[in-house]
């Protein structure tokens, strides 16, 4: 049996869970999320816990068991506490600013400025302090959407290995290379 799949999911105070027609809806103080369930799995709400079980031991069912348990757990955590990711922009002249609540303006060394419109589920805040790298803070109840938006922003200018310039996650370690001069010796 799946080690992750068999763990029950505790429902915190203020979170409402409904299951109807293979769709689970989780509603809480941070928002509402929906997920279509795999028909080979059975999801039950017992008291203040959600339990995921499978009907058979087919390979596909075993693979989906832990996945859907993790997705449901992320939904419960998202609507109760939310998720937060921080991106750091490294490079001279690279900057990020907010244009309203849902537009992020990025200057990443290209001849043009990049404008990125955020979905309504994601809140964005760009901070620039003197003598520090600009920080972009993204918050959302949907972990998948948040990760996708962060990956999109990072893809505009990935960190390069020689000087480390680009958009990276806070705490991410960039594997650095030595340049030409080190190779010639």
pLDDT per residue of the chain (185 residues) written in tens, 0 to 9: 578 888 999 999 999 999 998 899 999 999 999 999 988 899 999 989 999 998 888 888 888 999 999 999 999 999 999 999 999 999 999 999 998 888 999 999 999 999 999 999 999 999 999 999 999 999 999 999 999 999 999 999 999 999 989 999 999 899 998 888 765 55
pLDDT at 114: 95
pLDDT at 63: 87
Q: Which residues 6+ apart lie within 8 Å of 151 measured at CB?
A: none
Tell the residue number behind the tokens 């087919």, with chain if given: 58
pLDDT at 100: 84
pLDDT at 26: 94
DSSP, residue by residue, 53-122: EESS--HHHHHHHHHHHHHHHHHHHHHHT-EEEEEEEESTT-EEEESSSSEEEEE-SSSS-EEEEPPTT-
pTM over 0.85: yes
Nearest one of 101, 105, 102 to 115, comparing CA atoms = 105
pLDDT at 1: 58
Give the integer Cα–Cα distance in Å for 36 and 123.
25
Structure tokens at 67: 């996945």
């Amino acid at each position: 049996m799946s080690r992750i799949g068999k763990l029950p999911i505790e429902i915190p105070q203020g979170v409402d869970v409904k299951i109807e027609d293979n769709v689970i809806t989780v509603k809480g103080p941070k928002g509402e999320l929906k997920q279509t369930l795999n028909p080979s799995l059975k999801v039950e709400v017992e008291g203040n816990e959600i339990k995921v079980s499978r009907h058979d031991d087919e390979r596909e069912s075993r693979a989906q068991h832990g996945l859907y348990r993790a997705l449901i757990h992320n939904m419960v955590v998202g609507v109760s506490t939310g998720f937060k990711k921080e991106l750091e922009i490294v490079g001279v002249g690279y900057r990020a600013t907010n244009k309203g609540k849902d537009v992020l303006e990025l200057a990443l060394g290209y001849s043009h400025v990049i404008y990125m419109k955020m979905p309504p589920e994601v809140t964005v805040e760009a901070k620039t302090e003197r003598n520090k790298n600009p920080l972009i803070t993204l918050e959302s109840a949907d972990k998948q959407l948040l990760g996708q938006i962060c990956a999109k922003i990072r893809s505009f200018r990935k960190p390069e290995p020689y000087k480390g310039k680009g958009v990276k996650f806070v705490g991410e370690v960039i594997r650095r290379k030595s340049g030409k001069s080190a190779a010639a010796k």
